[in-house]
Amino acid sequence: MTTDDLHGDVTVDALELAAELSGAEGHAASADLAEYALRLGDDALVLSQQLAGWIARAPELEEDVALANIALDLLGHARSLLRFAGTWDGRSEDDLAYFRDESEYRSAWLFEQPNGDFAHTIARQLVASVYMFELYSALASSSDPTLAAIAAKAVKEVDYHRDHAVQWTLRLGDGTEESQRRMTVALRDVWPYVGELFVDDELVDRLGDAAVRPSQLRSGFDDVIAAVLREATMTVPDVAAAMGAGRSGGHFPTLGYLLAEMQVLARQHPGATW
């Protein structure tokens, strides 16, 4: 490293692509499988990065630890899914996370909703974790062995995330007048982004038994949400759906800022290790 290096004490190595890919068990993904894995991986990655924003800022220490743990689990899911997606064209999980632009991301708008106050984060967690639990429960029976393995692992962890979100929804919804008011506002704010999670398209048609048809998850999702909200003395919001376009690369305005923060270091120091 030269003494006039502006970036200081960072060693830069070539990306060890082979090592990154070695964890992808067995076969390489087809183009369609890679695209599907990107959708799921980006949902998990974006939500993980959002939750990490609560570290050192949560209302209490235990909650700080809980949200960080959930973020770490989601990062694990994202790594497995992006690694698999990368077997299609030889990109590593880091290439996919740090060197794709906003329009190349495939996350749904729900996960791009801002953290807001704690109630907004819990409302987003409730929708996200109930959806992911239904998704990974079904995907564990995928005809693709890699997706099935990732899902079977993830569903055990998402079970905790769902329980966490449900417990908080009950406490806030059935708590004080103020906590219920804020939880109600929060749920109403995230609800327009629910619909996008359950839209089928041609990709899912082509993948057949390897993927899960999003529309098939809706009734299970609705049943759980209805039961939780009933117990929380709340009601399912009656608001119009947003026209989310995340699967085709159209994103909520928050994603660009999130990626800028997440990607800046890797882009300034490609291949950096420390």
Partner 1 sequence: MVTAAADAWRVAASVHDPEVPVLTIEDLGILRDVREDAGRVTVTITPTYSGCPAMDTITQDLELAYSAAGYDRVDVVTVLAPAWTTDWMTPEGKRKLEAFGIAPPTGRAAVPAGPIRVALAVRCPRCGSLRTREVSRFGSTSCKALFECLGCLEPFDHFKVH
Q: Which residues of the chain form contacts with partner 1 (CB under 8 A)?
A: 22-23, 25, 62-63, 65-66, 68-70, 72-77, 79-80, 145, 148-150, 152-154, 156-157, 160, 163-164
Distance CA 115, CA 121 (A): 5
As measured in angstroms, the least distance from the Cβ of 65 to partner 1 is: 5
**DSSP conformational letter for 272:** E
Tokens matching residue 20: 């990154």
As measured in angstroms, the least distance from the Cβ of 2 to partner 1 is: 29
Nearer to partner 1, 80 or 184 (CB): 80
As measured in angstroms, the least distance from the Cβ of 196 to partner 1 is: 24
Nearer to partner 1, 122 or 251 (CB): 122
Nearer to partner 1, 137 or 184 (CB): 137
- In this structure, are residues 228 and 74 in contact, taking their beta carbons and an 8 Å threshold? no
Nearer to partner 1, 28 or 152 (CB): 152
Nearer to partner 1, 22 or 103 (CB): 22
As measured in angstroms, the least distance from the Cβ of 69 to partner 1 is: 4
The CA-to-CA distance between both ends of the chain, in Å, stands at 14
Pairing of strands 11-12, 272-273: antiparallel
Distance CA 272, CA 12 (A): 4
Nearer to partner 1, 152 or 199 (CB): 152
Nearer to partner 1, 80 or 87 (CB): 80
As measured in angstroms, the least distance from the Cβ of 228 to partner 1 is: 12
As measured in angstroms, the least distance from the Cβ of 188 to partner 1 is: 28
List the one residue out of 85, 76, 84, 80 whose CA is nearest residue 47: 76
Tokens matching residue 170: 């009950």
As measured in angstroms, the least distance from the Cβ of 11 to partner 1 is: 17
* Alpha-helical runs (H) found in the chain: 17-21, 31-52, 61-86, 93-98, 109-112, 118-139, 145-173, 177-190, 202-207, 218-231, 254-268
Tokens matching residue 132: 């992911």
Tokens matching residue 182: 């804020």
